[in-house]
C-alpha cells in the first residue's frame, strides 16, 4: 500500500459558520482582500456576513470583485496588483470556483514575482497570502484543493497552477448561501462535484482513503438526483451537495482528474459550455470506455449511486443536462488534438489513446 | 450538519518510505532530536533508516532514548532540557504511542516555559518544534493526533495535553518496522486502534467524515482478527493494521474518546495493564451499555466487523485478550470514582453515570 494524505485546510461546515467563526476567519491578517465575482456574493448574504465579521474584529478590507467566470491569468495579475496596492495581508474568497481559483493565483502573485511563462511551472518560492474560502456553489471543491484552474490562451484550454501553497488555511461552508443559486448552476455544479469524485476513483493516484471519501461524495450527490430533476431542493439537499462537493475536492486534491476534465476544457474554451456541464456531457461515455477493460472500477463508481449499469447513469445525466450542444466532427478533431496533450490523460487507470478520446466525444454528442 | 475537519499532518505510507522521503523528513530543521524508547527502534531498523536519512542530507542529530512505557510529565521536561541543550530545532519520534506522546510534550516544552500546573491547560504560546513521527506499532494513532497522553500522578490517571500545535508536520508509516513486534503488543495495539475507531463513532463529536474513516478503520482491523488469533501475520496484515490505526487516529483527532479510555487509564495506572489491552477489556461492556438506549450506534460499529451482535464481538475480544486480570470490588470503587471525573465521560452520545461506570467494570471483570 502506497498512500499519501495531505489536507492542511481546516474545514468548518454549518449554518451561520461565517459569523460563528469570525475570530478565526479574521485572524489570518490585518487587512483582507475580498476576492469575488460581480454579483452573487452580494446577493446571497455571504459578503455581508464576511464584512460584518471583519468589522466586529476591527479588521480592514478591500474588495476585488472583477473575477469573471473561467478566470484568466490576467485577472490573477490584476488582483495581485490590487492586493499589493491595498497592502492586504490575507485573502477571503467568496463564490464559486472562479473567485476561489482566481484568489489562489492572486494570493501567490501578491507575494512572488512570477513571470507568466513560469506560472504553471510548479516552482515557486515559499510565500503566499493566507487564504480563507467561502464557497457559494456546491461543485468546484476548490476550497480544499491546491489547484487554481485558469484560462490559458496559449494552449487554448484551461491549465492548473498546482502547489501545496494554494491550500486555503480555512474554508467555511454554509449551505444557506447556495439556497437561491439558479437551477442550471445548481445542476451543473452538482455534476462537477460528482465528476470529481467519479474521476478521482478512476485515477492511478487513487488510494484507499480517497476511495472512501469519493464513495461517500457520490452517495451524497446521487442521493439528490431526484431533487435536482424536480428543481426543488431543501436546505438539507443543498447541504448534502455542498458536503459532497467538499469531499470530492478532498479527493481530487490527492488524485487529480482524468480525460473528462481535459476534454471538457475544450467545450468550455471554444463553446462556452459551463465547466460542470462539460464534465457531465462526457462522463458517461468515459465510464463506458473504462468499463471495457476495468468493469470493476465502473462498478465501484456506480454502486454508491445504487446503479447497476452505465445506461442508468447515462439516462440520469441526460435528464439533468437536457438538450445537448451541437458539435461538428471538425470540432471533435480539434478538441481531441488539444486534450490528448493534457497532463490528466495519463492519470487514469485506463489511459485513453487519441482514438478513444475522439470516440468519447463522438458518442457523447451522438455523432 | 455541523462539521469540522482539520488534519494538517502529511501522511506518507509505504515500504521504505523513510528513506524515500528522506529529503522531506530532514527538511524540518538543521538538527534533529530523535525521541524514542530504549530498544525497539534500534531493533526494527527504523532508527538506522532515520539516521541514514539525516546523514545523507547533512543534518545533525542527538538521541533521547529514555522514554518509558506510559511516559510521565517529568520525561517531557527532561527531554525538552536535552532538546535545548543540544540546540535541536526539530523532533523525529520513533516508536509506539509512548515516544510519540512524549515527543509532543518535548517539542512544546523545548519552545515554551510552561509550569507543570499549566501543562494541561490548553493555553500555550505559538511555538513548538516541528515534528516528524515514525510509528513502529499499529495502535496509538498518535502520529495524526493533537494529543499527548501522559501519566499524571496528581489525578492518579493519564491526562492529555491537547493542542493543534501538537500535530506532527509529517508522519511516515512503514509496516516493515512492525513485522517483529511481539505478539501481545501486536494484539494490544490493534485493539487500541479498534477502540479508537469504535469510541469515535460513539462520541457527540462524531461527524459524517469521522464515521466513514472509523468504519473503514474497523473494517481493516477486524479483517485481521483471525490473523491476530493465529499469531501469524503477513506483511499485508501488518500494513492493514497500521493503516487502520492511522485512520482511527484521524478519527479521535476530531472526536476524542469515551469512558472506555477514561476507565482503562485506571487499569493502566494502578494495575500496569497495557493501554490497548485495558481498552479491550472494557470495550464490549461499554458497547452493551450504549446498546440499551442506542442500538443503532452499536449496530453501526458492528456492521463493518461483519458482526450482528455484541456477543460475537465480546467473544472475539475474549479470545484475543485471554485470561483477564483479577479486580476486587474495592478497586472497582476506586477506579469508578476516578474515571467518572474524566473529560471523556460526557463526550459519548449516551453518557454513563457513576453506576453505569461501576457496572461496566464489574461486568468486564465478571464480578
Residues B80-106: tens digit of each pLDDT? 999 999 999 999 999 999 999 999 999
b or e along A157-189 (b: 16 or more beta carbons within 10 Å of the residue's beta carbon)? bbbbbbbebbbbbbbbbbbbbbeebeeebbbbb
Quick one: pLDDT at residue B216?
A: 98
B88 close to A (CB below 8 A): no
Q: Which residue has the cell 530532514?
A: B26
Which B positions 108-137 lie with beta carbon below 8 A of chain A? none
pLDDT (mean) for B16-23: 98
Quick one: pLDDT at residue B235?
A: 97
Quick one: pLDDT at residue B322?
A: 94
Count other Cβ atoms within 10 Å, centred on residue A332: 21
**Contacts A216 to B, Cβ<8 Å:** 208-209, 212
CA distances from A318 to A288, A306, B129 (A): 15, 17, 55
Quick one: pLDDT at residue B242?
A: 98
**Contacts A5 to B, Cβ<8 Å:** 7, 10-11
Length reported for chain B: 367
B211 close to A (CB below 8 A): no
Confidence of residue B336 (pLDDT cuts 50, 70, 90): very high
B19 close to A (CB below 8 A): no
**Closest residue by Cα to residue B246 from B142, B151, B122, B101:** B142
Give the Cα separation of B295 and B228 in Å (integer). 28
Strands B147-152 and B157-162, sheet pairing: antiparallel
**Closest residue by Cα to residue B249 from B221, B280, B288:** B221
Give the Cα separation of A200 and A191 in Å (integer). 14
Within 8 A by CB and 6+ apart from B182, the residues are none
Q: Is A95 helix (H, G, I), strand (E, B) or coil?
A: strand
C-beta atoms of B11 and A3 within 8 A = yes
In B, minimum Cα distance to A21 occurs at: B4
Give the Cα separation of B161 and B104 in Å (integer). 9
B208 close to A (CB below 8 A): yes
Q: Helix B97-109 to helix B73-85 angle, to the nearest 10 degrees?
A: 60
Q: Are B164 and A27 in contact (CB under 8 A)?
A: no
Mutate to test the interface with B, among A5, A197, A212 (most CBs of B within 10 A): A5
Q: Is A228 helix (H, G, I), strand (E, B) or coil?
A: helix
What tens digit of pLDDT does each residue of A338-367 get? 999 999 999 999 999 999 999 999 999 999
Quick one: pLDDT at residue A353?
A: 97
Where in chain B does DSSP place strands (E)?
3-13, 31-35, 60-64, 90-95, 131-135, 147-152, 157-162, 170-173
Which B positions 213-242 lie with beta carbon below 8 A of chain A? 213, 216, 239-240
A14 close to B (CB below 8 A): yes
What tens digit of pLDDT does each residue of A300-326 get? 999 999 999 999 999 999 999 999 999
What percent of chain A stands above pLDDT 90?
98
**Closest residue by Cα to residue A174 from A210, A218, A138:** A138
B247 close to A (CB below 8 A): yes
Q: Is B124 helix (H, G, I), strand (E, B) or coil?
A: coil
Q: Are B298 and B309 in contact (CB under 8 A)?
A: no
- CA distance, residue A64 to nearest chain B CA (Å): 28
- CA distance, residue B10 to nearest chain A CA (Å): 5
**Contacts B1 to A, Cβ<8 Å:** 13-14, 239-240, 243
**Contacts A14 to B, Cβ<8 Å:** 1-3
Distance of CA B366 to the CA centre of its chain: 27
What tens digit of pLDDT does each residue of B211-265 get? 999 999 999 999 999 999 999 999 999 999 999 999 999 999 999 999 999 999 9
- CA distance, residue B219 to nearest chain A CA (Å): 12
Q: Is B69 exposed, middle or buried (0-12, 13-18, 19+ CB in 10 A)?
A: middle
Quick one: pLDDT at residue A198?
A: 98
**Contacts B213 to A, Cβ<8 Å:** 209, 212
Dihedrals phi, psi of B133, to nearest 5 degrees = -120, 140
A8 close to B (CB below 8 A): yes
- B212 → closest Cβ in A14, A212, A240: A212
Give the Cα separation of B50 and B133 in Å (integer). 11
What tens digit of pLDDT does each residue of A245-278 get? 999 999 999 999 999 999 999 999 999 999 999 9
B212 close to A (CB below 8 A): yes
Q: What is the DSSP string of B13-81?
A: ESTTHHHHTHHHHHTT-SEEEEE--SSHHHHSSHHHHHHHHHHHTT-EEEEE--PPSS-BHHHHHHHHH
Q: Are B115 and B138 in contact (CB under 8 A)?
A: no
Give the Cα separation of B208 and B215 in Å (integer). 11
**Contacts A176 to B, Cβ<8 Å:** none
- What chain A holds in terms of domains, given with CATH numbers, is 10-177 (3.40.50.1970), 183-364 (1.20.1090.10)
What tens digit of pLDDT does each residue of B268-320 get? 999 999 999 999 999 999 999 999 999 999 999 999 999 999 999 999 999 99
- CA distance, residue A325 to nearest chain B CA (Å): 37
Q: Are B184 and B52 in contact (CB under 8 A)?
A: no
What tens digit of pLDDT does each residue of B145-169 get? 999 999 999 988 889 999 999 999 9
Q: Is A135 exposed, middle or buried (0-12, 13-18, 19+ CB in 10 A)?
A: buried
- Record the cell numbers describing residue A114, joined without a space: 512570477
What tens digit of pLDDT does each residue of A11-44 get? 999 999 999 999 999 999 999 999 999 999 999 9
Quick one: pLDDT at residue A126?
A: 95
Dihedrals phi, psi of A9, to nearest 5 degrees = -70, 130
> What value does the mean pLDDT of chain B take?
97
Distance of CA A244 to the CA centre of its chain: 12
Amino acid at each position: 500500500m502506497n498512500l499519501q494524505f495531505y489536507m492542511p485546510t481546516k474545514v468548518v461546515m454549518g449554518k451561520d459558520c461565517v459569523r460563528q467563526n469570525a475570530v478565526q476567519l479574521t485572524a489570518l491578517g490585518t487587512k483582507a482582500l475580498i476576492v469575488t465575482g460581480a454579483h452573487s456574493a452580494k446577493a446571497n448574504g455571504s459578503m455581508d456576513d464576511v464584512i460584518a465579521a471583519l468589522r466586529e474584529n476591527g479588521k480592514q478590507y478591500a474588495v476585488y470583485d472583477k473575477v469573471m467566470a473561467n478566470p484568466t491569468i490576467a485577472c490573477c495579475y490584476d488582483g495581485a496588483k490590487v492586493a499589493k496596492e491595498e497592502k492586504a495581508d490575507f485573502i477571503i474568497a467568496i463564490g464559486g470556483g472562479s473567485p476561489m481559483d482566481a484568489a489562489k493565483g492572486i494570493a501567490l502573485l501578491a507575494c512572488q514575482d512570477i513571470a507568466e511563462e513560469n506560472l504553471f511551472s510548479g516552482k515557486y518560492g515559499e510565500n503566499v497570502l493566507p487564504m480563507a474560502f467561502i464557497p457559494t456553489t456546491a461543485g468546484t471543491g476548490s476550497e480544499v484543493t491546491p489547484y487554481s484552474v485558469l484560462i490559458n490562451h496559449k494552449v487554448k484550454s484551461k491549465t492548473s497552477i498546482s502547489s501545496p501553497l494554494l491550500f486555503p488555511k480555512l474554508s467555511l461552508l454554509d449551505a444557506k448561501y447556495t439556497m437561491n443559486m439558479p437551477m442550471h448552476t445548481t445542476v451543473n455544479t452538482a455534476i462537477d462535484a460528482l465528476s470529481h469524485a467519479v474521476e478521482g476513483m478512476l485515477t492511478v493516484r487513487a488510494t484507499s482513503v480517497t476511495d472512501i471519501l469519493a464513495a461517500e461524495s457520490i452517495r451524497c450527490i446521487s442521493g439528490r438526483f431526484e431533487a435536482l430533476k424536480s428543481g426543488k431542493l431543501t436546505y438539507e439537499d443543498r447541504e448534502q451537495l455542498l458536503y459532497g462537493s467538499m469531499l470530492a475536492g478532498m479527493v481530487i486534491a490527492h488524485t487529480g482528474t482524468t480525460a473528462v476534465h481535459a476534454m471538457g476544457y475544450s467545450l468550455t474554451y471554444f463553446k462556452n459550455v459551463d465547466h460542470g456541464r462539460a464534465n457531465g456531457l462526457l462522463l458517461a461515455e468515459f465510464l463506458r470506455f473504462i468499463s471495457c477493460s476495468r468493469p470493476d472500477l465502473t462498478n465501484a463508481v456506480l454502486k454508491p449511486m445504487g446503479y447497476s449499469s452505465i445506461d442508468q447513469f447515462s439516462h440520469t445525466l441526460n435528464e439533468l443536462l437536457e438538450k445537448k450542444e451541437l458539435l461538428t466532427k471538425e470540432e471533435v478533431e480539434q478538441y481531441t488534438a488539444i486534450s490528448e496533450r493534457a497532463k490528466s490523460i495519463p492519470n487514469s487507470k485506463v489511459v485513453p489513446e487519441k482514438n478513444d478520446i475522439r470516440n468519447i466525444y463522438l458518442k457523447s454528442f451522438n455523432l
